[in-house]
Amino acid sequence: MRIGIIGQPCIDEIIHAANPSAVPKQALGGVLYSYAAMERLMRENGSKNDSMVPLTWLSKQDRSFLESLLDKFTHLERSAGLWPTESQTNRVQLVYQENGERTEHCPHILPSLTDDQLTPALLESLDGLFVNMISGFDVDIDTLETALHGAAKKPYVHIDIHALVLGSLSERDDRAPFGGGREPRGVKEWKRWLAVADSVQMNELEARWFADPDIRSEPELLKYILLSNQFPKLRYLILTRAERGATLFDFENEMVYNATPPSVEAVETTGSGDVFGSAFVFSILSDTRPEEALQKAVEMASWNTTLRNIDLILDAPFFSS
């Protein structure tokens, strides 16, 4: 099994508003959570034929920091992807207020992939493609459509629309010392994104905003998909619901499945959506039934909240069965 993952790595910079002059604590994040989860799943599967292809840029100036984690992935295939760039890796400033609230701002964003990177020949070589939107600019719909339409053999496509519904991450706000934060907005080309996907993943806030102003609620979105006949390729829509689990709408079989997470004591929620997506894609491509793939994704995302850093995804024990 060969799975390509589109999405941008991040270097998170943790800032406390009460002490803004302190040197920020740095941690690896973004799509690297998806890589770590996919690596763990492929190790557990035990097949030497499994590989993931990292379809993103690799910043030359941040290479050593990023490679400190990438070198741990034995299933990472470097025949494509990790294209070198002079651009700086995404810097995501996580600003914590004294009351515990957090805002996000990203002053540096890697460029989008182009037709030179994402080619039909590359997509033909993949069994699956996980498009994990980290900045919202990871790939544009024109590039993705062109590559998929030109591919004689098309991969299974799963899209986490996440950052597509967030405002420009580098947008400045003079009233806020670390930027204006990430504000939701409608996705202008939302129909085109749905049309290229076999499955899509979004949380409840994203379901509200994804098709705004055309559609402004989860029920309206589901009704439109079911009745419009515009998305014949779309098999599943997944709504993640945090501590309440997730719901999968199976359009092929006209079924709805709910998955309940195990009871856990969460210590860090960062990266759980990225882990969820990897678990779902890997399970579906392993011929797992959709309701079982959903449950696996929910359990693995919940397990991720019990881990204090990304490295533990590779070695920490799973929940006891």
Task: Please classify residue 120 by burial: count the beta carbons closer than 10 Å to its beta carbon, then call 0-12 exposed, 13-18 middle and 19+ buried.
Answer: middle
Question: Helix 290-304 to helix 272-285 angle, to the nearest 10 degrees?
Answer: 150
User: What beta strand segments (E) does 216-276 contain?
Assistant: 236-240, 246-250, 255-259
Q: What is the pLDDT of residues 228-263, one digit of tens each?
A: 999 999 999 999 999 999 999 999 999 999 999 999
The band of 21, judged by pLDDT with boundaries at 50, 70 and 90, is: confident
Task: List CB contacts of 20: < 8 A, sequence separation 6 or more.
Answer: 177
How far apart CA 181 and CA 106 sit, in angstroms, is 8
Q: What is the pLDDT of residue 107?
A: 76
Instruction: Give CA–CA dist 296/318, Å, rounded.
Output: 11
> Residue 227 pLDDT > 70, yes or no?
yes
Q: What is the pLDDT of residue 181?
A: 56
Paired tokens of 243: 């501590």
Nearest in space to 55 (alpha carbons), one of 109, 123, 108, 107:
123
* CA dihedral (271, 285, 321, 249) positive or negative: positive
Q: What is the pLDDT of residue 169?
A: 54
Structural domains of the chain, ranges and CATH numbers in brackets: 2-314 (3.40.1190.20)
Residue spans of alpha helices (H) in 7-140: 32-45, 63-70, 120-124
Mean pLDDT for 195-200 is 98
User: Which segments of 198-289 does DSSP mark as H helices, in order?
Assistant: 204-209, 218-228, 272-285
Are residues 152 and 191 in contact, defined by beta-carbon separation less than 8 angstroms?
A: no
Tell me the average pLDDT across 31-38. 98
Q: Report the alpha-carbon distance of residue 1 to residue 163 in Å, rounded.
A: 27
CA torsion 292→295→300→302, rounded to 10°? 180
Alpha-carbon distance of 71 to 51, in angstroms, equals 14
* CB atoms near residue 228 (< 10 Å): 10
Query: Which pLDDT score is estimated for 167?
Result: 65
Locate 249 and state its tokens: 């709408």
Question: CA-CA distance, 136 to 8, in Å (whole number)?
Answer: 9
Global pTM?
0.92
Tell me the sheet residues that pair with 248: 238, 257
